[in-house]
Amino acid sequence: MAIKFIDELEFEGKRVFLRADLNVPLNDASQITDDTRIKAVLPTIRQIMRKGGRLIVASHLGRPKGKRDDKMSLMPVAECLAELLERQVIMAPDVVSDGVKVVAMQLKDGEILLLENLRFHPGETANDPEFAAKLAEMSEIYVNDAFGSSHRAHASVEALPRMMKIKAAGYLMRKELRYLQEALADPQRPFWAILGGAKVSDKLGVVDNLLAKVDGLIIGGGMAYTFLVAQGFNVGKSLVDQTRITYAKDVLEKAKRKNVQILLPLDHVVATAINEFAETKVVDNQHFPSDRMGVDIGPRTIDIFKNALVGAKTIVWNGPMGVFEQPAFATGTMEIAKAVADSGAVTIVGGGETVSAVKKAGVTDKISHVSTGGGASLELLEGKVLPGVAALES
């Protein structure tokens, strides 16, 4: 894969189209509630500015379905970006128009133009080459630092870079690829993966790909109950994917043949409902009540999972161990977050819920790499090639 990175390019006097992922959460007053994604792209923006580039920044926000919706305007992002950079950010009134093109063409070295929400135009999600060509007319160099959007074959991510002669990946993209591709291609061992979350079907490709790479696999969260049913256990009213029980049996058999250790919960926190008032108790696999559901891994399981990670050299984690959003059901996820952070291994965390969990546990700074792309990181863990990455190849 021959991908250039921004350190290899000169930007002085050139119009640079930067595809960023500025899809930040907004409250009802259109105020940004979490600016993590904006801060993540700042190193790339500063490098292009430092080298005299004339910057055209583009992103989507939400799902306006090809129509203008002022509730999803990037204006709050422009204001936040200007504050963080301590300089003016010109806000375009739309995405592609003669007026926006004129502004782009008149940019001076170090100036920044932020285009309005790309998804206000139907051509973005349709990967329309005509829409991409209009974006290309404004710029001379293309940079993709939107890892979280690069699993989508959208115009600004896939069609546009294929039209550009000079293209590169930004710093955030480089970090994501180095951890999620290169580090996993030749991991330090022992290599453990931790998978959780609600459904087995969401992680079929991840399980299949990791089973060929890891020394051990920990399965918790809702997806664990399908595997427990595959082993013959009753799991009460817990979430079970009935269509994947045979698949779970096959995975367990395949792991045996490959000599890959799979750890499943031995005890559980169970409840009658998922709310803060629900009565809870701890049960083991042999005594799971038929009228309750699993909401977290139990204390014995926490100890076993944590002990398995001692001595690990590489750990990949995607998916919480329970309904951690409720404090009463968060212990398992919080304990695993701390164990991963304290392991001394190369640690890679992906998936929106898992990223939220490590933040909640206060251990983000101790994780080697926290991926910014939920769906994109999952697809890389499946071994897929992302359209936005493939389009950067020379």
CA distance 216 to 231: 18
311 flagged as catalytic: no
pTM, 2 dp: 0.89
Query: What is the band of 372 on the pLDDT scale with cuts at 50, 70, 90?
Result: confident
Roughly how many angstroms between the first and final C-alpha of the chain, as a whole number?
Answer: 8
Q: Which residue has the tokens 């294929």?
A: 162
Continuous H helices in the chain: 36-50, 75-85, 98-105, 122-125, 129-137, 160-163, 171-177, 184-185, 204-211, 223-230, 245-258, 299-309, 331-341, 352-360, 374-381, 387-390
37 flagged as catalytic: yes
Query: What is the band of 382 on the pLDDT scale with cuts at 50, 70, 90?
Result: confident
Query: What is the band of 352 on the pLDDT scale with cuts at 50, 70, 90?
Result: confident
Which residue is catalytic, options 15, 37, 167, 175? 37
Tell me the per-residue pLDDT of 62-76, one tens digit each, with 9 for 90 and over: 999 999 999 999 999
User: SS3 for 328?
Assistant: helix
Does residue 394 have a pLDDT over 90? Answer: no
Which residue is catalytic, options 4, 199, 300, 306? 199
Please report the pLDDT score of residue 2 as a whole number.
Answer: 87
| CATH number for region 187-381 | 3.40.50.1260
φ, ψ for residue 216, nearest 5 deg: -155, 150
199 flagged as catalytic: yes
Q: Over range 306-333, report the average pLDDT.
A: 95
φ, ψ for residue 62, nearest 5 deg: 70, -160
Of 14-23, 207-216, 304-313, 372-381, the poorest mean pLDDT is in: 372-381
Q: Over range 222-226, report the average pLDDT.
A: 95
**Pairing state of beta strands 141-144 and 167-169?**
parallel
Q: Which residue has the tokens 């009753």?
A: 234
CATH superfamily of 6-174: Phosphoglycerate kinase, N-terminal domain (3.40.50.1260)
Q: What is the identity of the amino acid at 90? A: I
In which element (H, E) is residue 167 found? strand 167-169
Ranges for all domains in the chain classified under CATH 3.40.50.1260? 6-174, 187-381
Does residue 278 have a pLDDT over 80? Answer: yes
Q: What is the identity of the amino acid at 246? A: T
Mean pLDDT rounded to a whole number for the chain: 94
Query: What is the band of 256 on the pLDDT scale with cuts at 50, 70, 90?
Result: very high
Contacts of 211 (CB under 8 A, 6+ apart): 217, 251, 254, 255, 258, 260
Which residue is catalytic, options 313, 375, 383, 384? 375
Contacts of 85 (CB under 8 A, 6+ apart): 42, 45, 46, 49, 112
Please report the pLDDT score of residue 307 as a whole number.
Answer: 97
Does residue 363 have a pLDDT over 90? Answer: yes
